[in-house]
């Protein structure tokens, strides 16, 4: 029984010593890649939307005060996408003025469903608090949370299909204008219509959960899941911006008043390669020692006596 207990204690001690050697602290660098759902999250009236796939790559660094607690930051390039539509039968109307300054009501009716794809490119700066729980194997589980600042680089919309008909009505004259292409009162196919999507800076709530796998003495790999949600509306113009303007100008769903908000949202899987540049910490109580080189001393000659006199025979 005593031998069994002693053996178990020896095994646990060796495991704990190995796990302690795997702990990392100090400065580190990393490169990361992630994929999953990266969406510009909005919902149009009289339509639908779903978020699309995206990609994120980045580099960064961090500092771990202890092997368990640290902060990380970096710079990421991310792509966000969305697919949206406006259903057939949707109508819009607004008052405008003709070239003579007379007011009239322009009526727009969607004849066939409008389909649109959106994409945004953004540069992002995460600031995360990290915690690592080391396992007996020397690997670890980790969790991180914080804020990511997301800045716009570019954004584009592209309509893949859709037709609408425009008519005009002069209330004072009780006259309706239709089938007059030279005045813009006609049916229009917007397939291929495209343009830019201006957007604002965003602050995203961010989290990560994953597994740390040690590769070598100062390098390791992390695999995990992540999630981000925008805390700020991306829209530059808030209010009654029409989806289709006079002369059949289509401006894209994210730019129009058909949506009430537009926020970034993403979740997926990520991998990162880390390099600890502070080296592995020394165990407590041990210090580095340096051996001093010793001078070589020739052995005394048997041909000489003490005092340097040579012995002679009788």
Kindly report, residue by residue over 230-265, the tens digit of the pLDDT: 999 999 876 657 888 766 689 999 999 899 899 999
For 120, the enclosing helix (H) or strand (E) is strand 103-134
Alpha-helical runs (H) found in the chain: 2-22
Assign 123 to helix, strand or coil.
strand
DSSP 255: G
Q: What pLDDT was estimated at residue 93?
A: 85
CATH number for region 24-276: 2.40.160.20
Max mean pLDDT among 213-222, 224-233, 248-257 falls in 224-233
Alpha-carbon gap, residue 207 to 30, rounded angstroms: 17
Q: Residue 224 above 90 pLDDT?
A: yes
Angle at 197 between CA 191 and CA 201, to 5 degrees: 160
Q: Is pLDDT at 312 greater than 50 in this prediction?
A: no
């Amino acid at each position: 029984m005593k031998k069994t207990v002693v053996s178990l204690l020896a095994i646990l001690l060796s495991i704990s010593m190995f796990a302690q050697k795997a702990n990392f602290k100090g400065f580190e660098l990393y490169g990361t890649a992630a994929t999953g759902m990266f969406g510009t999250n909005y919902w149009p009236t009289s339509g639908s939307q779903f978020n699309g796939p995206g990609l994120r790559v980045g580099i960064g660094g961090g500092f771990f005060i202890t092997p368990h607690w640290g902060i990380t930051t970096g710079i990421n390039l991310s792509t966000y996408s969305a697919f949206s539509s406006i259903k057939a039968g949707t109508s819009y109307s607004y008052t405008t003025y003709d070239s003579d300054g007379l007011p009239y009501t322009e009526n727009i009716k969607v004849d066939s469903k409008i389909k649109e794809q959106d994409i945004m490119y953004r540069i992002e700066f995460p600031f995360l608090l990290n915690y690592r729980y080391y396992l007996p194997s020397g690997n670890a589980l980790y969790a991180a949370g914080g804020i990511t600042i997301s800045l716009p680089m570019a954004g584009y919309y592209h309509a893949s299909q859709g037709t609408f008909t425009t008519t005009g009505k002069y209330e004072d004259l009780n006259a309706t204008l239709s089938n007059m292409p030279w005045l813009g009162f006609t049916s229009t196919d917007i397939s291929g219509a495209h343009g830019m999507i201006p957007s604002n800076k965003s602050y995203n709530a961010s989290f990560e959960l994953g597994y740390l796998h040690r590769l070598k003495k100062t390098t390791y790999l992390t695999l995990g899941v992540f999630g981000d949600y925008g805390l700020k509306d991306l829209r530059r113009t808030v209010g009654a911006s029409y989806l289709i303007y006079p002369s059949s100008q289509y401006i894209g769903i994210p730019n129009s008043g058909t949506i009430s908000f537009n926020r970034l949202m993403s979740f997926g899987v990520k991998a990162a390669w880390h390099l600890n540049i502070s080296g592995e910490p020394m165990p407590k109580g041990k210090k580095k020692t340096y051996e001093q080189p010793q001078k070589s001393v020739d052995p005394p000659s048997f041909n000489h006596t003490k005092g340097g006199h040579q012995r002679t025979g009788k």
